[in-house]
Structure formats: structure tokens, C-alpha cells
Amino acid sequence: MDYYNSNQDDKNNEYERGYDYGYGSAYGTGGDGLEPKRTGGWGKKILTFVLCGALFGTAAGGAFLGVNELGRQYLDNGDAASGTETTGSQANIAPTSGAKHTNATTTALDVSGVVDDVFPSVVAVTSTMVYQSYYGWGFGSEDYETEGSGSGVIIGQTDEELIILTNDHVINGASSLTITFADDTTASAAVKGTDANADLAVIAVKKSDLSEDTIKNLAVARFGSSDDMKIGQAVIAIGNALGTGQSVTVGVVSALNRRLNVEGTDMTLMQTDAAINFGNSGGGLFNTEGELIGINVAKATRNDADGMGYAIPITSAEGIIEKLSSRETRSEEVPEEQAAYIGISMQNVTSATASSFDIPVGVYLVAVSAGSPAEAAGLQEKDVITAFDGQTVSTREELQSLLKYYAAGTTVEVTVQRQIDGQYQEMNLSLTLGLRSDYQ
């Protein structure tokens, strides 16, 4: 989306290039749809970025596609070095035994060895969301479903579960998640943990829901070091492009440590010219040794912006991934008779509101009910909740969705930002959830 604003001092009529990064719709084609102010003349040419989830009416999956000749312009002849061992911090997340071909080679014409190695570690993620359409006063409402498509990478397994890494925006707000594996089989998934600020999420699939053949043929990705990548080195992106099934693109690292402000959130990303399309979000960016060095997340959408994709560097995210992976899987909502209650009235602090009023992004407390669990925990009016039980929350919908998995009587840690002496300060409060039926 191109915006042209005035700059009458630009005597040479040249564009001054600015960067305005926006996610757009989490599952759509992006852009905030707002027309910029115009004052006449030539001015900044805004480059807009969007997340690469995709919204479709049908489930993701289908045929998995490979690639051979895309490596021609990027990869040198010769053997790729075998993968390095995982670091101690990730040993429980990405075992080194995940890859099946430890001596895969690449040539100038063929990347199929690396692709064969890593392809079974990448999955398609279908998010089913329920929306409510209001017809106005007196006319009621109607629920309807839609499906968003994204990608994920298998990063570990236990005796009971497969652990899958994806983007938070791929699964945020989903009522159900379906995973499509490389053999085209499917299984449902549940959330383990999310971090909205880092745009990362870890989900899990029960191995009991998978056939022996599927388990035998899948792979666990090996972590590489994004810190060791250099500009110009070849990379391979795999993901569920346009929701049609996994496909492969090849490119190079275009830039490192690219700092972008995406809808109010600062992110430091790796830039690549490997094609990143809608549906690629959450998919893997691999080096030529078959190691995972990034999670694909965004792309430039302006018509004349070609080959500008972005990935979250895996090394900088390892601590978050380990924390999310260690959480208990939220597989079943608590029954109504155990439903929890906090006792707050809340509204969202969007990135636009945060920027305008210097308030942290999160859940703003309009009121705290007297005698409620929230009051007992020390929550106060005008606090901004930013995390619940160690999981970041940026909207009241996220908080309400999390609360469905916690029974009354559970004690959790709530992170809030509170204004003290004109500055917001972070504090953690211990909250014991009440029984909803006691307050109705």
C-alpha cells in the first residue's frame, strides 16, 4: 500500500523513503486501511509490512511441493557441513536426532538433499475462528466460522506430545487448531504457551492421535545459530504458502538485525529475499546445513517492494521458546461449575492508543469490583495487565480465552503496569481465582 505525503522543500522531486511497519490483518492481506494526511506535493513513500498468515474458507494442507532448480543462483557446489549439536538451553526442545539425513549435500542445481532432510519437520496450521455478526438493535446476532492458514515447525517431542513452534498471530483467537503433516495426515492441536510481544507460540499434538507411520516419517528440526549467519548466505524457506500446502523457496540473507516497529511493537528481524507469502507465517527459515535459523513472519507488500521477507532470528528467541515449551498444554476448558472469576471491567489498549497517550499495550482496568479476587490481589483501577500466569496478553479477548482453562481456586501470577509518580512500573501480583457462580 503506497502513501505519498507532501514535502515542498524537496526541490529535486525525489522520494524520501520512510518505513511504516504494520501487521495489517493477522490473517488477511494487511494494511490498516487508513488514508494518510495529505498536504500536497511530493513526500515520503511509505513501505508497509504485513504478517504472513492467510485467511481462507477452506482448511490448509494438500500436496507438499519440493524444489530443485531454485538453488542455482544461490548455492555453491560441494558438501554442506553436518549439523552442529544443540546448545544446552535448547536440548529439550530440538533434539539433534531429528534429522534423518546427516550427510545431505547441496549443489548449484539441487537443494533436494536439504529439503528432504527438513521437510518432514514443517507442518501446516489451520486456525478455526468463530466470529459474531450483529445485525443491530432488536435483530440479534449470528455466529459464523472462518479458517486462517499458517505454518509451524516441529521442535521437540515427549512420550506423549509433539511440540510445534509457530507465530502467535497464526493461532490467536482460534477456537480450534488443525495440523497437517508432510504425509498429508491431520490432527488437532492445543496451545502450550504464547508470547504476543515476540509473536511466538508453542502448540502440541497428542502422539496418540497419530499413526505409527506418521510418527516414523516426521522429523524434529535442529536449531542452528542465527547469530552466525552472514549477509549473502543462502537460506531455504518452507511454509504453507497461500494455504495450499507446503512449498519451498530459496534466497539469501539480505540484512541482519533489521529493527522494525510493527504496529507499536519493536522487533529485530532477519531479512531475506526468499519468497515469503501469506500462509508462510510460522514456517521455517533454514540454512544450507538443514538447521532452523528463523521463523518466517512478515513481508513487504508495496507493489515495487520485491523480495523483502522477514524472519524472527531463532537464537534470540530460544529463551522464549524454551519457556513456552515447558508450560502445561491447555487441552481442555474447565467445566462451567468450576469457571473462574476475577472481578474486573476492562478495555484494550491498542498500539494507537498506547502511542497517543503513552500507556503500555495491554488490558486496561476500567474498574475493580469491591470484594472481588482482583481487589484481594491488589489490582487497581487504571492498571494495565500485560501477562497472566507468565503468558503475555495484549487484549481482553486473549485474557478471557486464557481464563477458560483455569479452575476457580487456582493461584496465578499477574503482571501489571502501574503508573507511579508519572511513570509506568511493572509489578507481579498473586491472584487466586474466584468461583464465578459465587459472584453472579
Residues with catalytic function: 169, 199, 281
- Through-space distance between the first and last CA atoms of the chain, rounded to whole angstroms: 48
Torsion 190-193-195-200 (CA) sign: negative
Question: Do residues 424 and 349 touch, judged by C-beta distance below 8 A?
Answer: no
Measured between alpha carbons, how far is residue 221 from residues 199, 301, 314 in Å?
19, 29, 12
* Residue 114 CB contacts under 8 Å (≥ 6 apart), including other chains: 80, 104, 106, 236, 286, 288, 289, 290
Residue 100 to residues 3, 58, 206, Cα–Cα distance (Å)? 48, 32, 22
Region of residue 323 (phi > 0: left; psi between -120 and 50: alpha; otherwise: beta)? alpha
Pairing of strands 265-272, 200-206: unpaired
* Gap between the Cα atoms of 100 and 68, Å rounded: 19
Q: Using only the alpha carbons of the chain, give its radius of gyration.
A: 23
| DSSP states of 30-74 | ----PPPP--SS--EEEEPEEE--EEESS-S-------SGGGTTT
Q: Which string of DSSP letters, residue by residue, matches 265-293? A: EEEEEEEE-S---TT-TT-EEE-TTSEEE
